Amino acid sequence: MQNRKLIAALAAALVTAGAGIPGSPAEAGAGEPSQLSPLATWYGRQALPAGDGWGSAGAGTTGGAAASPDQVYVVTSRAELTDALRGDAPKIVFVQGTIDGFEGPAGALLGCDDLADPAYDFDDYLATFDPEVWGRETEPAGPLEDARVRSMRNQEAQTVLKPGSNTTLIGLRGATLLHTTLLFNEADNVIIRNLTIRDAFDCFPQWDPTDGDLGNWNSNWDYVSVRRGTNFWIDHNTFVTPNVEPPSFFGRKFETYDGLLDITHTADLVTISHNVFRDHDKAVLIGSTDNPGGGDPGRLNVTLRHNLFDGLGQRAPRVRFGQVDVYNNYYRIPVAAPFEYGYSWGVGVESAIYAENNYFSLSADDDPATVIADWGGTAITERGTWARTGGSGFGRPVSLLDAYNAVSDPALGDDAGWTPQLRRGPVLPAPGVPVLVGLFAGADRLPI
Ligand code: CA
Ligand code: CA
């Protein structure tokens, strides 16, 4: 009985997995770049369906669905990509092959040295701001720090892409954005699909001796950053970071990455579906400040469904202020070096996470009590979680909140104060989640 119900729910969920065959693809594509298949054209023009998470609220998310034929692009270089993404006219930008953010004007690859300001020298920076010399009371300042900031701005001009509104950015098979940051600031109505997004490397991290007790190296660039915009659909992408052990300076890890997908600064109405988030420390940050004065209260509403969170350190997601629906996601917790597991669900200030039917795979070393972290919140709603512990077996129902509360003071409440209404299709029982997410999450799962 249990199995039959599970199979029926799986079958229903497959239909909504975004891999369904569209109605009449042959009609699409007239007047668009001739190398696009009818299916690619169909997926490029697809809007987020009604009722599919927070991204479907308000004006809905159509991306570039209304693009005229001359606003449909197939790009293969950084320069073509940057040009195509400019402006707010509806546009569909297909990425073909690997585009490297370090591609210089003539196509040759630049390195960090090429972006460094002439007055910047990393060895001098280390010598100057060594805590034994500079102390730990104030942040770096002076000519070397100014040169680092200029270097950072050089990198921004090179690797940080700033697309406009009404954009669909979609990968053709194998498409990869390497060494880029997609920074959406005051852009609305955006769809990002079927892309592998790798290694948004920061050449010029900043030392901050006042961050924590021991200081920290902080990196500036996320893989995707959504700020001050509404209506985003992030679907079927793979976010991944190389497993490379970073060096340490001043006894602290030299942090060359920030978030995989950060939604901050009053951004709102985002649906995140069928993505793979893999091998990284800080995954998904929703809200970057506890201060309500920036306008975040009432915003930062996000749905995360059918994603794979694989080998991440923290923030899957970490939430402030928003009503965040987290359902049918698959968490593979064991983390490969150099990453270390901290927690998955960050319950921040005035956050309202509603977590339903998620599945966790934990190793014998992972304590279920550590999955939730309290960053100043008061409650989280949790329903139907299953977990496999010790790295084997089929799993069983668990309450991660009970596990957390058993060892925590103060305890978190069990009612985040809202019930999600915007869901497309059935919520799958947690035991089916690894199969469904394994089949459909990530780039190159759409038939284009
Ligand atoms: Ca290329
Ligand atoms: Ca960030």
Residue 425 confidence class, pLDDT cut points 50, 70, 90 = confident
Classify residue 245: in a domain, yes or no: yes
Active site residue 315: yes
Residue 14 confidence class, pLDDT cut points 50, 70, 90 = low
Poorest-pLDDT segment among 98-112, 227-241, 262-276, 384-398: 384-398
Which tens digit of pLDDT belongs to each residue from 103-144?
998 889 999 999 999 999 999 999 999 999 999 999 999 999
Ligand nearest to the CA of 258: 2
Cβ neighbour number for residue 239 with a 10 Å cutoff = 28
Classify residue 187: in a domain, yes or no: yes
Phi first, then psi, for residue 202 (nearest 5°) are: -95, 115
Which tens digit of pLDDT belongs to each residue from 182-197?
999 999 999 999 999 9
Q: Count each helix (H run) and each strand (E run) in the chain, helices first.
A: 9, 32
Ligand nearest to the CA of 255: 2
Which pLDDT belongs to residue 393? Answer: 79
CATH of the domain at 315: 2.160.20.10
Q: Which domain holds residue 49?
A: 2-22+38-440
Residue 339 confidence class, pLDDT cut points 50, 70, 90 = confident
- H or E segment and range at residue 445: none
Which tens digit of pLDDT belongs to each residue from 244-279?
888 999 999 999 999 999 999 999 999 999 999 999
Residue 27 confidence class, pLDDT cut points 50, 70, 90 = very low
Ligand 1 centroid to residue 186 C-alpha, Å: 28
Number of domains in the chain: 1
Residue 28 confidence class, pLDDT cut points 50, 70, 90 = very low
Catalytic residue among 78, 193, 198, 315: 315
Ligand 2 centroid to residue 174 C-alpha, Å: 26
Classify residue 92: in a domain, yes or no: yes
Average pLDDT score, the chain: 93
Classify residue 27: in a domain, yes or no: no
Is residue 98 scored above 80 in pLDDT? yes
Classify residue 29: in a domain, yes or no: no
Ligand 2 centroid to residue 290 C-alpha, Å: 15
Classify residue 31: in a domain, yes or no: no
Cα-based angle 208, 263, 309 (whole degrees, multiple of 5): 90
Classify residue 448: in a domain, yes or no: no
Cα 95 to Cα 105, 180, 242, distances in angstroms = 18, 13, 22
